[in-house]
Chain A
Amino acid sequence: MTDLTSLTLAGVRDGLAKRDFTAVEMTEAYLSAMDAHKGLNAFIVTCPDVALDRAKASDARRAKGEARGPMDGAPVAIKDLFCTEGVQTTAASKILEGFKPCYESTVSGKLKDAGAVMLGKTNLDEFAMGSANITSAYGNVISPWTAENDATPLVPGGSSGGSAAAVAVRLCVAATGTDTGGSIRQPAAFTGIVGLKPTYGRCSRWGIVAFASSLDQAGPMTRTVEDAAIMLQAMAGFDAKDSTSAKVALPDFAKALSGDIRGLKVGIPKEYRPDGLNSEIAALWDQGITWLKDAGATVVDISLPHTDKALATYYIIAPAEASSNLARHDGVRYGLRVEDGGNLDEMYMKTRAKGFGKEVKRRILIGTYVLSAGYYDAYYLKAQKVRALIAGDFREAFKTVDVILTPTAPSDPFPVEGGAKVDPITMYLNDGFTVPASLAGVPALSLPGGLSQKGLPLGLQLIGRPFDEETILRVAQVMEAAAGFDAVPTLLRGGK
């Protein structure tokens, strides 16, 4: 039999339908792979019992001819930011250690209802705040990739670093991620997989531990574009429990994958090619443009003039919303409490000082400051206005183009060791190409385009019109075929 863990989600769907293997066999194969690669620290908790129960139930449904669709029996990992009933949910923070939600997030619940098997909860940057997965209270996630002839441990990107590493090294067939400023796309690029941030409002935020509510969006992380379409189908849809959830029709995403992009207009924004852009990244981008032209698309130079102000805008808005959202972690209703006989305020202050990590505290303080009396207009209101201009840039561009192509990240993956030492702003610059689409709320996808000279994955990003994930999926699949990216992580090649 072929190695079960090498199959794509579409392959799992087909194999289960043909009775080539059972969901239990598939789940067991992944559980042992997870065991073999514990050193990556991709999971905060594993739930083999839950997984095997769900796999058995899936097999039983199938035996009765009641299989629920393409996700039924597929073993997936859930980012530990989604509340999962009865299974610890921490957001990678000490402040939520031991928290077992009494409810299921809408997205993980939809996957569960679709028959997906949950293998465990993946590691992430604490409260999804980070671009390297080095701020988790449960330790760093290590990328399954290393540079050629250099065993230095590398970061998987962040914040969905555990999900990205797990999908890349085949510890699950697919995983959920969340993306606030690039947290699906950048780790997807760093680990050589596909990551899709849908349009804001496409997937319900209900039951996802909140970071920055006007930006947070859940999406699929998979090994192929087709798999992303299949998984998005199961995750998306209107939810009355999220007031920002969009009441729009849900297309058949897999049907959009026609392979035909002739006549499509692709925008190339000049602002994404700043002076000093890494030459390998620039070369890959040019290669991507050639692939699109070869497939019959028309390439158009465009301008998104406020791009260079997106990061500063984001690093006001996101911390502001975070400082408000994270106020709920107060030691009263769930999670950690530190008490030593003081009054209520002292209990709050000690609990939060002990429970939150350094980066989370830094962002809470920045957010509190920019929202405080006397500074609100200068910082927060100003940022909201610039955000309007950034969103306007995209609206204007999409009057003439159907999709935009850019690099996903400004560099290839960097060492874990160095990552911990860089100053906050340098780390924030990693999100420069992903943050603008987040601020505009438009869908964006990262797909692997090739390898750097060091043998590490590089990603290309496609940005689409609001609620037009279909076009970016269609273009992405054409590019995927052209790229023929078949490199696997060093760890799967028996390397170290």
Chain B
Amino acid sequence: MSLDKATVRKIGFLARLEIPEDDLEGLAHELNGILGWVEQLSQVNTEGVAPLASVSEMKLFWREDTVTDGGMPEKVLANAPDAMDGYFLVPKVVE
């Protein structure tokens, strides 16, 4: 599997990272290097092995389904680059 410029551009969009046209080639080269290196995992026989998503061998705990926090809109918005009337502001989404 080898990444070309178009694929890097596509991944860039999926990751919401603007990548200047001039950087695509170099990045493709770098990413291919890393992907080629991790390719070694294909040598490992994993037949019948269940994927490990978490090392904690315990069940996630449950708690009462109740509100435990909240009521602090000013704190929530305190670091917002742009906010108004208790809302985060973003560029217009609906035309």
Contact = CB atoms under 8 A, between A and B. Distances in A.
A330 interface: yes
Interface residues of A, number: 72
B56 A244 contact: yes
A441 B55 contact: yes
B46 A382 contact: yes
A383 B50 CA distance: 11
Interface string A211-233: 00010000000000000000000
A337 B41 contact: no
Interface in B59-95: 60-61, 63, 72, 75-76, 78-82, 88, 90-93
B40 to A, nearest CB: 5
Contacts of A387: 51-52
A51 B90 CA distance: 37
A385 B51 contact: yes
Contacts of A99: 79
Given A323-B15, A389-B49, A441 B34 contact: no
Interface in A324-360: 327, 330-337, 339, 342-350, 352-353, 356
Contacts of A424: 30, 33-34
Nearest to A334: B79
A100 B52 contact: no
Given A332-B81, A388-B49, A424-B33, A349 B44 contact: no
A246 interface: yes
A332 B80 contact: yes
A108 B65 CA distance: 27
Contacts of A439: 55
A366 interface: yes
A394 B53 CA distance: 17
A318 to B, nearest CB: 11
Contacts of B1: 375, 378
B60 A306 contact: no
Contact of A344 (B58, B76, B90): B90
Nearest to B45: A389
Nearest to A364: B15
B33 A309 contact: no
B88 A332 contact: yes
A36 interface: no
Nearest to A337: B81
Contacts of A350: 18
Nearest to B43: A309
A240 B63 CA distance: 9
A333 B7 CA distance: 30
A379 interface: yes
B58 A246 contact: yes
Nearest to A306: B44
B25 to A, nearest CB: 14
Contact of B17 (A312, A361, A379, A388): A361
A411 interface: no
A89 to B, nearest CB: 10
B55 A391 contact: yes
B16 A349 contact: yes
A152 interface: no
Interface in B15-45: 15-19, 27, 30-31, 33-35, 37-38, 40-44
A382 B38 CA distance: 11
Contact of A309 (B27, B44, B53): B44
Given A382-B46, A384-B53, A102 B16 contact: no
A386 interface: yes
A452 interface: no
Contacts of B17: 349, 352-353, 356, 361, 364-365
Given A332-B88, A345-B16, A365-B12, A386 B54 contact: no
Contacts of B52: 384-385, 387-388, 391
Nearest to B14: A368
B16 A352 contact: yes
B32 to A, nearest CB: 11
B81 A344 contact: no
B69 to A, nearest CB: 9
Contact of A201 (B34, B56, B63): B56
Interface in A270-306: 306
A415 to B, nearest CB: 23
B50 A312 contact: no
Contacts of A349: 12-13, 16-18
A405 to B, nearest CB: 22
B6 interface: no
A312 B40 contact: yes
A309 B91 contact: no
A387 B53 CA distance: 9
B45 to A, nearest CB: 9
11 contacts: A240-B63, A316-B38, A330-B16, A332-B81, A347-B90, A349-B17, A365-B11, A369-B11, A382-B46, A384-B51, A423-B33
Given A100-B78, A102-B75, 13 more contacts: A102-B79, A312-B41, A313-B41, A332-B88, A344-B90, A347-B90, A352-B17, A362-B30, A366-B34, A369-B31, A372-B11, A423-B33, A466-B57
Which 5 pairs across A and B sit closest by C-beta, in order of nearness? A441-B55, A384-B51, A334-B79, A337-B81, A385-B46
